[in-house]
Amino acid sequence: MTASQSQLRADAQENRARVLAVARELFAERGLDVPMAAIARRAGVGVATLYRRFPTKESLVVEAFTEQFAHCRAVIEEALLDEDPWRGFCTVIQNVCLMQATDRGFTAAFVSTFPELHSEVRDRTWEGFAALVERAKESGQLRADFSPHDLTLVLLANSGLAGVPVEVAVSASQRLVAYLLEAFRAGTDALPPPVPLSLDLVLR
């Protein structure tokens, strides 16, 4: 525990943790637009407490989702270690899409918190994925005209499922991903040129 954590009084620390847990729950269930008051109520604290620990709603969102973002990066790193490039590629897409489908706030959080905060981290992640794509192409399993920007395309498309109930969203996402992966496989017809969908576009 760093100083900033342990300097809090015991009860305060516990409250902070509970708020964070509740926030993650509610963001996942209902998306990012749950009122701060709802989080406070469910956590059994007043709004003021909440705002003391997290000066703004966005800061709460960032904190609530950092571990998920870390998991994302980890998934890519791990996939780069897979001896089968295609399997690594598929794993990344499947995992990220599953996270997106499971957690309703995920995409919105990704979009609204990444912009400035973690730009270098973001770039590293992006490069990691680009490398993964390159490997998969070289192995001849990924179609040559696949663009790394197509990851953004997949993410956006998959985020469209956020509106339906979670269990449905998960199955739907799996089917969508299965369709897309099939289309990404090498040896099919030519496509219209890749769309330069940089992540910045997703970020407003």
Partner DNA sequence: TGGTAAGTGGAGACCCCCGTCCACTTGGCT
Partner DNA sequence: AGCCAAGTGGACGGGGGTCTCCACTTACCA
Contacts of 25 (CB under 8 A, 6+ apart): 42
CB nearer its own copies, residue 56 or residue 188: 188
Q: Residue 20 in contact with residue 63, Cβ under 8 Å?
A: yes
33 binds, among its own copies, DNA, none (CB under 5 to 8 A by kind): DNA
The yes or no reply on residue 11 touching DNA (CB under 7 A) is: yes
CB nearer its own copies, residue 119 or residue 171: 171
CA distance 54 to 51: 5
Binding residue count for DNA, defined by CB under 7 A: 25
176 binds, among DNA, its own copies, none (CB under 5 to 8 A by kind): its own copies
The yes or no reply on residue 112 touching DNA (CB under 7 A) is: no
Choice from 49, 66, 94, 147 touching DNA (CB under 7 A)? 49
Q: Supply the minimum distance, in Å, between the C-beta of residue 122 and DNA.
A: 23
Distances (CA, A) of 91 to 72, 95, 124, 194: 11, 6, 19, 22
The yes or no reply on residue 178 touching its own copies (CB under 8 A) is: yes
Please report, as residue ranges, which positions from 134 to 163 form the binding site for its own copies (by CB under 8 A). Answer: 150, 153, 156-163
11 binds, among its own copies, DNA, none (CB under 5 to 8 A by kind): DNA
* Collapsed DSSP state (helix, strand, coil) of residue 185: strand
Write out the DSSP string of 62-126.
HHHHHHHHHHHHHHHHHHHH-SSHHHHHHHHHHHHHHHHHH-TTHHHHHHHHHHHHTHHHHHHHH
Contacts of 133 (CB under 8 A, 6+ apart): 89, 142, 146, 147, 148, 151
- Which residues make up the interface to its own copies (CB under 8 A)? 111, 150, 153, 156-165, 168, 171-172, 174-176, 178-180, 182-184, 188-189, 191-192, 194-195, 197, 201-202
- Which residues make up the interface to DNA (CB under 7 A)? 7-12, 15, 33-37, 44-49, 51-53, 55-58
